[in-house]
Amino acid sequence: MQMALSKLDIELILANSPQAKGRIERANRTLQDRLLKELKLRGITTLDEANVFAPEFIEMFNQKFSQKPMNDL
């Protein structure tokens, strides 16, 4: 993985604190909960339908929950 990140010129930032690890776990739980509800509300029952809906869901989720970083690296 390190070699791939290096080739793509991506800096790996590790979550070394329990607080940071907790934030990502809460975000994953929120994401999973909302995705399932949206799929059910829209009557999406197949993987193909879910894949078509995914970009729209990602955009909606990011608009609602994204925050600008405190520091630009």
Residue 67: pLDDT over 80: no
First CA to last CA distance, the chain: 21
Sign of the dihedral through C-alpha 16, 20, 21, 22: positive
Domain assignment of residue 60, given as a range: 19-64
Higher pLDDT: 71 or 10? It is 10
Rounded to 5°, the CA angle 61-45-43 comes to 70
CA–CA gap between residue 57 and residue 31 (Å, rounded): 10
Q: What pTM was computed for the model?
A: 0.55
Q: Is 7 a member of any domain? A: no
pLDDT over 90 for what percent of the chain? 30
Tally of domains within the chain: 1
Residue 43 has what pLDDT?
97
- Tell me the average pLDDT of the chain: 84
Residue 15 has what pLDDT?
67
Higher pLDDT: 5 or 55? It is 55
Q: Is 50 a member of any domain? A: yes
